[in-house]
Amino acid sequence: MIEAETRWSLYVTKHNLPFLSSDHASKLFAQMFPDSDIASKFGCARTKCTAIVKEALAPHFHAKVLQNMSNPYSIMIDESNDKENKSCIILVRVLDAEVGNVKTRFLDMPIVNIGTASNIFSALKASLKKYGLDFSKAMAFMSDTANVMKGSRSSVQKLIKNENPSLYDIGCICHLADLCIKAGMSTLPLDIDQLFIDIYYYFHHSSKRNQEFIEMWCSFYTNEPKVILKHCQTHWLSLLRCVDRYLEQLPGLISYFLSCVQTTKVVSIAERLQNPLFKPLLLFLKHVLPFMDRFNRSFQKSNENNTCELFTEINRLVRIYAANLLTHNSIQQVGDKIHTVDLDKGENHKPDESLSIGIDTWVCVAELKKEMDMKPFFSAVKQFYLATLTSKKVSSD
**Domain-located, residue 255:** yes
Q: Is the pLDDT of residue 244 over 90?
A: yes
CA dist., res. 102 & res. 118, Å (int) = 30
Are 26 and 45 within 8 A, CB to CB? yes
Do both 60 and 75 map to the same domain? Answer: no
Do both 258 and 293 map to the same domain? Answer: no
Q: What DSSP element (H or E) covers 105? A: strand 101-108
Are 237 and 296 within 8 A, CB to CB? yes
Do both 375 and 288 map to the same domain? Answer: yes
Do both 297 and 386 map to the same domain? Answer: yes
Stretch 272-286: mean pLDDT: 95
Predicted pLDDT of residue 238: 87
CATH number at residue 158: 3.30.420.40
Residue 163's alpha-carbon distances to 137, 138, 150, 183, 263, in angstroms, are 11, 10, 16, 34, 58
**Domain-located, residue 345:** yes
**Domain-located, residue 37:** yes
Share of the chain above pLDDT 90, in %: 38
pLDDT band at 304 (very low <50, low <70, confident <90, very high): low
Predicted pLDDT of residue 167: 86
**Domain-located, residue 235:** no
Predicted pLDDT of residue 397: 40
Picking from 57, 82, 62, 72, the residue whose alpha carbon sits closest to that of residue 2 is 57
187: which DSSP letter? T
**Of 47, 64, 81, which residue constitutes the final position of a domain?**
64
CA dist., res. 131 & res. 117, Å (int) = 22
Predicted pLDDT of residue 394: 43
Do both 219 and 122 map to the same domain? Answer: no
Do both 79 and 55 map to the same domain? Answer: no
Predicted pLDDT of residue 395: 40
Range 184-188 contact pairs with CB under 8 angstroms and sequence separation of 24 or more: 184/383, 184/384, 184/385, 184/387, 184/388, 184/391, 185/239, 185/384, 186/387, 187/380, 187/383, 187/384, 187/386, 187/387, 188/281, 188/380, 188/383, 188/384
**Domain-located, residue 40:** yes
**Domain-located, residue 92:** yes
CA dist., res. 169 & res. 313, Å (int) = 20
Predicted pLDDT of residue 302: 56
**Of 48, 64, 80, which residue constitutes the final position of a domain?**
64
Do both 41 and 104 map to the same domain? Answer: no
pLDDT band at 396 (very low <50, low <70, confident <90, very high): very low
Structural domain count, the chain: 4
Residue 379 is part of which domain span? Answer: 178-182+282-396
Share of the chain above pLDDT 70, in %: 96
**Of 64, 80, 101, which residue constitutes the final position of a domain?**
64
Do both 53 and 93 map to the same domain? Answer: no
**Domain-located, residue 234:** no
Q: Is the pLDDT of residue 376 over 90?
A: yes
Predicted pLDDT of residue 305: 63
pLDDT tens digit sequence for 172-211: 778 888 888 999 999 999 999 999 999 999 999 899 999 9
Residues forming beta bridges with residue 111, ordered by sequence position: 87
Do both 225 and 197 map to the same domain? Answer: yes
**Domain-located, residue 150:** yes
pLDDT tens digit sequence for 57-88: 988 888 888 888 888 899 999 888 777 788 89
Strand duo 138-143 + 73-79: pairing: parallel
What mean pLDDT, rounded, does the chain reach?
Answer: 87
Do both 41 and 80 map to the same domain? Answer: no
Do both 332 and 380 map to the same domain? Answer: yes
CA dist., res. 147 & res. 397, Å (int) = 9
Do both 317 and 363 map to the same domain? Answer: yes
